[in-house]
Amino acid sequence: MLLIKNMNNQFENIDVELKDLRPTVRVKALEILEAMPEEMKTDRMSALKNAIEQAENWFMDSEG
């Protein structure tokens, strides 16, 4: 189970299939999520999906 900090520095479970991602993509997705402005994180599932998509694109570009 992966944990991230929410705005109040509390930990919150992320209930998505991050475990199925390549480790490098998972790490990059969490980095992207953490770097997002707070106003983009109001819908956490949407923000996480966006971060995963960006991380997958980053991975494909770096492999190519």
The three-state secondary structure class of 19 is: helix
Count of the separate structural domains present in the chain: 1
Tell me, rounded to whole angstroms, the distance of Cα 43 from its chain centroid.
13
The residue with greater pLDDT, 42 or 3, is 42
Rounded to 10 deg, the angle between the 44-63 and 23-35 helix axes is: 130
pLDDT, tens digit, for every residue of 8-63?
433 355 645 677 899 999 999 989 988 998 888 778 888 888 999 999 999 999 98
- The predicted pLDDT at position 20 comes to 85
Q: Token pair of 32, please? A: 């992207």
- The predicted pLDDT at position 16 comes to 53
Question: Residue 4: pLDDT band by 50, 70, 90 thresholds?
Answer: low
Q: What is the domain range of residue 50?
A: 3-63
